[in-house]
Each structure stands twice: as structure tokens, then as C-alpha cells.
Amino acid sequence: MLRVAVIGTQGQVARSLSELSGEDVAVSCIGRPLLDLAQPDTVPAVLDDLPADIVVNTAAYTAVDKAESEAGLAFAINRDGAAAVAAICARRNLPLIQLSTDYVFDGTKSGAYLETDACHPQSVYGASKLAGEQAVLAAFPAAVILRTAWVHSPFGSNFVKTMLRLSAERDRLRVVADQHGSPTYAPDLAAAIVTMARRLAGPRDRTLSGIFHLAGAGETTWHGLAVTTMAMAGRGILVDPISTADYPTPVGRPANSVLNTAKIEAIYGIRLPPWQEGVRHGVARLLSHD
């Protein structure tokens, strides 16, 4: 029985991981008020004696625009809270997977981002997540940093759910077509994390540690994702392509969020399904609950 302790309870990845709990894997999700990463002093009391073979930290401050005015809170959770988790894992020699994001990059690269590419976050959110990566590896060099992007699922708030909701209210949508990325279905990501956890919980192997990228195979734009979502849902809604300049936000989003996943495929043998499959499964689940 593999015992996976997940930090976070309501996020898309945490909820997807909890669905995988079964005969050969026990997933325990821990969050507020018992464990609050905004208050790092709550971490040792929970994690010091927690029965677990591996810890997966999915909890984060993710309100990208709001973070600009709540930098203190974003850094408290994404840097200091993550570091507190890593310190306990280091003391217990307990494997740790820390989730991170494509927002550590500025999005100006023409090709897919490698783990070794320089990070230039363009937002408080991105800066706080990068600081969290650095703090985790400083506290526990054997930890795994897992960067992902464009996550969607049947849970919480995400782009696919928003498109389905808007398509029921409008007969035409306008969606940004000049930002590129790889949509990632949270249940696929969760299954991959469990595969990684089994390896990490076994004999120690230095090659399994460090920074890895993982996202749905292939790439598209937000417009392409919206069009595919409508097709999978069988909705004949017009989706007009617009530019980022036509849809200004308080914080700029990376024009290129495509992550190169060759490293994790080579070391862990993991490759997620094409992003279209994730959309198909996600839309089917969402519509089955309508």
C-alpha cells in the first residue's frame, strides 16, 4: 500500500489525486484549517508524525491578478509554506513532489521550454512560485519540482468549465488566439504523479529528483482549446479569435506556455495523452453532471 499525503484539499490536482485512492494506494488530503501554508508554523505539528510514504504539495496561492496586491500572502504560501513542508520532508527523508507552474517563464521563447531554461516571471504569482521552487530545493535538494500548465478538470474553476458555462449563456464567444500552451487534464496529471510516487518511494535514485515539466501532449491556443471544447460538447457556438491586446488583464499572461516534457519521459517513462483526449474526458464528465 502506497501512502500519499497531499497538501491541499480543494484544488483540481488534489481532488483528482483523492479519486485515485483505492486498494493499492491510500491518498490523504490535508488542508486548512488543520494545515495552513499561510501559517508555516502549522506545518510541523501535522507533518512530523503523519504516516506517509511520500508528500505531494498541490496547495498554492493561484489568483494571478489578485496576487499583485497581495504579494505578501502569495509569497507566504508559495514560498514560505512550501519551504516549511520541504524542511519536514528533509528531516524525515520523506520524498516530496512540489507542484509549480509555467508562469516562472516570461513566454518569449519561440520553442517549448526546457527545465534548464532561464526563468523570468512577469507577475507576483510567477515570482512567488519560482521563489517556492528555490526554497524547496534549498531545504530539500532531493525534492521533485513538477511544473505544469493550463490545468483543467471537472473540479473547481478552470477555462474549460468557463467556456461551457458561457456557451450556455451566449451564442458567440471571443477568445485569445495568440497565447500558446498545452492543456493538461488534472486526472491525467494525478495518475502520473502516483506513478512518480511509486518510483520515489522505492530505492533512492538521484536521477528521479530535480525539476521536471509535465503537460498534455501537443499544443494549442486558448482559442483552439475553446473551439475543441465546443466541438466535444456538441455545441455550435461561434468562437472568434482575438489578440491578447483585445482582452487586457491586470497581469500579462505568457504568450508561450509550452513545456518540453522529454526529460520526464526519459527518466520516468511518463507521457500524458494528447490534450484533446483530456478535453474529451473532461467535457464528458462535466456534461454528465448537468
Please name the helix (run of DSSP H) or strand (run of DSSP E) that holds residue 213, with its range, or none: strand 210-213
Q: What's the rounded Cα separation, in Å, for the pair 36 and 56?
A: 15
Grid cell digits, residue 279? 478535453
Nearest by Cα to 184 from 225, 148, 212: 148
Bond into 33 cis (ω within 30): yes
Q: What's the rounded Cα separation, in Å, for the pair 55 and 270?
A: 19
Kindly tell me the sign of the dihedral angle through the C-alpha atoms of 121, 123, 126, 132.
positive
Query: Known catalytic residues?
Result: 125
Grid cell digits, residue 210? 530535480
Question: Taking the mean position of all CA atoms in its chain, how far away is CA 170?
Answer: 29
Eight-state DSSP code of residue 217: B
